[in-house]
Amino acid sequence: MTQSLSALIWDVDGTLADTERDGHRVAFNEAFAEAGLDWHWSEERYAGLLAVTGGKERIRYFLQQDAPTFEPPEDMDAFVADLHARKTARFAAMLAEGRIPLRPGVERLLQEARSSGVRLAIATTTSPANVEGLLRANLGEAAIGWFQVIGAGDVVPDKKPAPDIYHHVLEGLDLSPAECLAIEDSGHGIAAARGAGIGTVVTVNGYTADEDFTGALAVLDHLGEPGQPCRTLRGEGPDQGLVTLGWLQALHERCAAQS
Ligand code: XBP
Ligand code: MG
């Protein structure tokens, strides 16, 4: 007997919203300027830095790659933590100004899930404050409560592509991987979800379109809206270019039947 779809587990950066190029990257650069550092992450350089998940980890990776002789004014942990806190404050301001909208189809699908009793959760590398800020700015304060579990940031030791954050969320939901589907945008993301045994639908973005999505149930350019159909890049896509809850439930059933 195949299990029905009980929960949708959402990634945040690149999935709920296109946050990297015009959000996090800009906030990092503003934080560097605020700290009196002459560093600047261009769109191209940031593409390379996305090889590492986690903002603090990404600063360290940049230092290793681009400024190996850089001597921080204080111990490196404190320096990185301070810089990242400045960046998070800048990002929060951008969110509050409404500069980071949700991607096509996200709000529609969240509402469909809510009205059908399919549970919602989040599995992300970014900090909890960024998740709440994004939801609050785009859907209102109450939307934070729509998600039964918000697994974010440093709550787990190893970040994506490690499956830890998905294990954490499954535990919080008290569900098995087979009862869930994940929605992700990146190679690291699908590796994490698949590592936890969760079927995954991918919506790519400008930074992730060419990444490795081995094992994806479907790879799309977004979730689609009436009048703005999504394109199927790999696997089987939804009719009329609209990812609906019904389509996800059918996809989940087919995938459960095959496994
Ligand atoms: C993607 C990430 C995050 C963000 C920056 O997260 O790697 O680190 O780039 O956010 P997701 P922080 O799992 O949602 O795709 O600076 O808060 O880490
Ligand atoms: Mg992502």
The token pair at 112 is 């469909």
The β-bridge relationship of strands 232-235 and 199-203 is unpaired
Ligand 1 atom closest to the Cα of residue 126 is 17
Instruction: Tell if the pTM clears 0.95, that is, is over it.
Output: yes
Q: What separation in Å is there between the alpha carbon of 46 and the centre of ligand 2?
A: 14
Q: Best substitution site from 21, 24, 204 to test ligand 1's pocket, by max atoms within 8 Å of Cβ?
A: 24
Q: Please give the pLDDT value at position 71.
A: 85
Which residues lie with the beta carbon below 6 Å from any ligand 1 atom?
11-14, 20, 24, 53-55, 124-127, 130, 160, 186, 189
Residue 1 banded pLDDT, cuts 50, 70, 90? low
Mean pLDDT computed over 72-95: 94
Cross-strand partners of 7: 119, 180
Angle at 114 between CA 218 and CA 2, to 5 degrees: 55
Q: Please give the pLDDT value at position 227.
A: 95
Mean pLDDT computed over 195-210: 97
Whether 18 is a known active-site residue: answer no
Place of tokens 């809850």: 245
Residue 50 CA: which ligand is closest?
Answer: 1
Residue 156 banded pLDDT, cuts 50, 70, 90? very high
Residues 192, 198: Cα–Cα separation, whole Å:
9
* Average pLDDT for the chain: 96
Residue 5 banded pLDDT, cuts 50, 70, 90? very high
Residue 3 banded pLDDT, cuts 50, 70, 90? confident
Whether 13 is a known active-site residue: answer yes
Q: Is the pLDDT assigned to residue 214 strictly greater than 80?
A: yes
Counting residues of the chain whose pLDDT is more than 90, the rounded percentage is 91
Residue 205 CA: which ligand is closest?
Answer: 2
